[in-house]
Amino acid sequence: MKKYLAMVPLLAGAAFLASVGASSAEATYTIGVSNTVQGNGWREEMICAIKAQALASGEVTKLNIAHRNTDAAGQLEDIRNLISAKVNAIVVNPADPAGIKSALEEATKAGIVVVAVDQAVTEPSAYIISNNQEQYAYL
C-alpha cells in the first residue's frame, strides 16, 4: 500500500509534465487538488505526498488544495474555483465521476490538465491513475 501511495504524486506529476511537453529550468506550475474526504488515512497521505512531491520537484510554485468533506455538488464548486484560479493542472479524487463531468470538461477546454486518482472519471481527456486492488496482493 505504501508503495502505491508513494507513486501517486509521481505518476500524477509525470502525466502532467508529459502533457505540457519538455519543461525548462524556469518552468513553474500552479497545481490544484480537489479531494472530498477528510480523516481517511489514504486521502490524508495522498495530500501530504502531493505537497512533498511538489516541493521536491522545484517546478511547482503553488498548490491550491480544496480538501474537505463534501459531495459531488461541493466538488463541482471546488473544481470551478480551481479553474477560476487559473491552475495549470488539477488532481482530482472524484466523489462522483459523472457528477463532476461538466467541471472537468470546462477545465480541459481551458487548457488545464486533469489527472484523476483512485478512480476513473467520465471526461475522456483526463488522465486516470487508478488503483488495482488485486495487484495489491502482489506488492
pLDDT (tens digit, 9 = 90+) per residue, 89-136?
999 999 999 999 999 999 999 999 999 988 889 898 898 887 666 666
Neighbours of 118 (CB within 10 A): 17
The matching CATH number, chosen from 3.90.850.10, 3.40.50.970, 3.30.390.50, 3.40.50.2300, for 2-136 is 3.40.50.2300
pLDDT digits (tens, 9 = 90+) for 4-53: 444 455 555 555 555 555 455 577 999 999 999 888 888 888 899 999 99
Q: How far apart are CA 116 and CA 33, in angstroms?
A: 10
User: Longest C-alpha distance within the chain, in Å?
Assistant: 42
With a cut of 80, say whether residue 3 has pLDDT above it.
no
Which set of grid coordinates corresponds to residue 30? 500552479
Query: What is the value of pTM for the model shown?
Result: 0.77
Amino acid 1: pLDDT:
46
